Amino acid sequence: MSQLSEQACEACSWDAPLVTDSEIEQLKPSIPDWQILERDGIMQLERVFTFRNFKQALAFTNQIGEVAEEAGHHPALLTEWGKVTVTWWSHAIKGLHRNDFILAARTDEVAKSNVRAD
Ligand SMILES: C[C@H](O)[C@H](O)[C@H]1CNC2=NC(N)=NC(=O)C2=N1
Interacting residues of 35 by C-beta distance below 8 A, sequence separation 6+? 45, 46, 47
Minimal CA–CA distance to 2: which of 90, 97, 109?
Answer: 109
CATH number of 19-112: 3.30.1360.20
Which one is predicted more confidently, 9 or 83? 83
- CA–CA separation, 25 and 9 (whole Å): 19
Rounded distance from Cα 52 to ligand 1 centre (Å):
31
Among 9, 74, 97, name the best residue to mutate to test ligand 1's pocket (greatest count of ligand atoms within 8 A of Cβ): 74
The pLDDT tens digits of the residues spanning 67-77 come to: 999 999 999 99
Strand pairing of 76-80 and 35-39? unpaired
The pLDDT tens digits of the residues spanning 44-84 come to: 999 999 999 999 999 999 999 999 999 999 999 999 999 99
Structural contact between residues 67 and 106, judged by C-beta atoms closer than 8 angstroms: yes
